[in-house]
A and B are shown apart, each in its own frame.
Chain A
Amino acid sequence: MGISSPPHLEKRVLAGRARNEDAVVLHFPPGKAIVQSVDILTPIVNDAFSFGRIAAANALSDIYAMGGEPWCAMNIACFPQEMAADDPQQILPQILRGGQSALLEAGAVLAGGHTVQDEELKYGLAVTGVIDPDHMAVNNGLKAGQRLLLTKGLGTGILATAVKARWEYHEESEQILTEVCSRLNKVGGSVIRELRLPAATDITGFGLGGHALEMAQASGVCIALNTQELPLLPHALDYARDGLIPSGSHLNRNYWSCSTLVEAGVDEALESIVFDTQTSGGLLLAVPPELLDEARSLLQQGGDMACEVGEVLPPREDGKALLLR
Chain B
Amino acid sequence: MSQTIDTCGLSCPQPVLLFLTAVKENPDDSYTVLVDNDASRENVSRAARNRGFSVEAIDQDQGVTRLEISKA
Contact = CB atoms under 8 A, between A and B. Distances in A.
B40 to A, nearest CB: 8
**Majority SS at the chain B contact face:** helix
**Majority SS at the chain A contact face:** helix
A164 B11 CA distance: 13
A247 B39 CA distance: 6
Interface string A256-274: 0000000000001100000
Nearest to B19: A243
Interface residues of B, number: 16
A165 B13 CA distance: 8
Contacts of A268: 46
Interface residues of A, number: 16
Contacts, number: 49
Contacts of B12: 161, 245-247, 250
A165 B16 CA distance: 11
Contact of A244 (B11, B16, B38, B51): B16
Interface of B: 11-13, 16-17, 20, 38-39, 42-47, 50-51
19 contacts: A161-B13, A164-B13, A167-B17, A167-B20, A241-B46, A241-B47, A242-B46, A242-B51, A243-B20, A244-B16, A245-B12, A245-B39, A245-B43, A247-B12, A247-B39, A250-B12, A250-B42, A250-B43, A268-B46
